[in-house]
């Protein structure tokens, strides 16, 4: 008999949410993780629970993001009950700013397209006067914004920590400092090789972020993920002025402001640089002039886990039944759905038909 019902490879936000979601249903779960030496998008992200522009070209992703936003309060309550950690979820809406009339038109067209393809989630365009009434701190350079009432944000570091702690509370094992090098399969059992150690399970979930590309083919999965660097600038704590989420700035529950973020094709290089930070600061100062006196206390870079079309991959292996793939570049947003909708499907042993759109065979289809 296998040592575990499920082994999840990768203790980032994706793997952590799935592992906790499965353990809370009574499955015997291990979460195997390289640990703090690894590339970890989960440690370096912006913390948005963002729905308004997710899935513009894939309605299934738009619906999945919306479902996750609905499930997020349950995730937050689960973390609080299991660990006493408040992950600081705020779902007070989200703003995406436009700095010119042309940007306003472009954004309005996107929102209308998503409305037609995926349904109404209440996103609407605000002109400058409406925006100012909602958020007095915006500067004269801002022409307006799109506003989505179901967007929000949370503290991603507290989320990561509490997912690991909640897994232990639910009887699961968190096994850090282990790099899975190989996965063998025989009917009904997977054997994972990590150094001299052997771990066995009836099911395996490959959720190893950028490490997934190498592991997935060992069990008949396809996860062609690549890195995309993002830098984030952090200010000192300032008085509260921003209580909703925005696509470029987020004030944390402690008062500091996260300013983001860049999109750089830099391979596996996680270094930061002044030119990019300067660009981020300039854009944010145009939107929020009051930040001109705030000191920058930190800049960091992290690597996004990108699929070829930017949409998630979920797959159940046809050749290795019991092996599942899970990856996305919105691991905070989708944490609710991963823990409370995807994990139960994996425990049951099958992905519902609604997951077909996320299968990686879409990358082999020729554009019409």
Ligand X SMILES: Cc1cc2nc3c(=O)[nH]c(=O)nc-3n(C[C@H](O)[C@H](O)[C@H](O)COP(=O)(O)OP(=O)(O)OC[C@H]3O[C@@H](n4cnc5c(N)ncnc54)[C@H](O)[C@@H]3O)c2cc1C
Enumerate binding residues for ligand X (CB under 6 A). 9-15, 32-35, 38-42, 44-48, 50, 178-180, 207-209, 211, 215, 230, 232, 261, 302-305, 327-333
User: 51 or 125: whose CB is closer to ligand X?
Assistant: 51
Quote the tokens at residue 144: 């307006």
Closer to ligand X by CB, 38 or 346: give it.
38
| Whether the Cβ atoms of residue 224 and residue 364 lie closer than 8 Å to each other | no
Least Cβ distance, residue 317 to ligand X (angstroms): 17
Minimum distance of ligand X from residue 171's CB (angstroms): 21
The nearer residue to ligand X, 178 or 316, going by C-beta atoms, is 178
* Nearer of residues 20 and 50 to ligand X, judged by Cβ: 50
Q: Choose among 8, 7, 10: nearest CA to 209.
A: 10
Q: Shortest Cβ distance from residue 36 to ligand X (Å)?
A: 8
Q: What is the largest CA-CA distance in the chain?
A: 66
Cβ partners under 8 Å of residue 67, min gap 6: 336, 337, 341
Minimum Å distance from CB 100 to ligand X?
Answer: 24
Minimum distance of ligand X from residue 339's CB (angstroms) = 12
Nearest residue to 201 via CA among 225, 179, 223, 173:
173
CB of 113 or CB of 263, closer to ligand X: 263
* Shortest reach from residue 99's CB to ligand X, in Å: 20
Q: From the CB of 228, what's the least distance to ligand X, in Å?
A: 8
Nearer to ligand X, 5 or 34 (CB): 34
Query: Between residues 126 and 199, which has the closer beta carbon with respect to ligand X?
Result: 199
């Amino acid at each position: 008999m296998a040592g575990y019902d499920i082994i999840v490879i990768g203790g980032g936000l994706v793997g952590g949410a799935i592992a906790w979601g499965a353990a809370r249903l009574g499955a015997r779960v291990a979460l195997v993780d390289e640990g703090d030496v690894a590339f970890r998008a989960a440690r370096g992200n912006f913390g948005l629970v963002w729905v308004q522009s997710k899935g513009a070209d894939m309605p299934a992703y738009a619906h999945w993001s919306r479902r996750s936003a609905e499930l997020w309060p349950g995730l937050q309550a689960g973390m609080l009950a299991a660990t006493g950690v408040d992950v600081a979820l705020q779902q007070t809406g989200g703003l995406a700013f436009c700095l010119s009339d042309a940007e306003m038109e472009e954004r309005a067209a996107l929102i209308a397209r998503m409305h037609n393809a995926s349904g109404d989630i209440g996103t609407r365009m605000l002109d400058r006067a409406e925006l100012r009434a909602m958020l007095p701190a915006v500067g004269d350079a801002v022409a307006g914004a799109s506003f989505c009432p179901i967007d929000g944000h949370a503290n991603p570091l507290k989320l990561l920590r509490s997912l690991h702690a909640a897994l232990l509370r639910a009887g699961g094992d968190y096994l850090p400092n282990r790099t899975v090098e190989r996965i063998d399969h025989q009917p009904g059992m997977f054997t994972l090789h990590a150094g001299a150690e052997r771990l066995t399970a009836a099911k395996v979930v490959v959720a190893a972020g950028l490490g997934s590309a190498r592991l997935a083919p060992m069990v008949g999965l396809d996860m062609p993920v690549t890195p995309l660097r993002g830098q984030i600038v952090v200010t000192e704590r300032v008085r509260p002025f921003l209580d909703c989420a925005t696509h470029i700035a987020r004030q944390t529950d402690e008062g500091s402001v996260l300013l983001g973020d860049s999109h750089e094709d830099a391979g596996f290089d996680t270094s930061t640089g002044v030119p990019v930070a300067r660009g981020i600061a300039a854009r944010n100062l145009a939107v929020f002039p009051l930040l001109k006196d705030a000191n920058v206390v930190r800049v960091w870079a992290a690597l996004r886990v990108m699929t070829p079309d930017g949409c998630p991959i979920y797959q159940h292996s046809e050749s290795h039944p019991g092996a599942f793939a899970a990856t996305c570049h919105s691991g905070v947003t989708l944490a609710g759905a991963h823990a409370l909708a995807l994990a139960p499907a994996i425990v049951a042993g099958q992905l519902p038909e609604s997951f077909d759109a996320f299968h990686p065979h879409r990358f082999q289809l020729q554009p019409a």
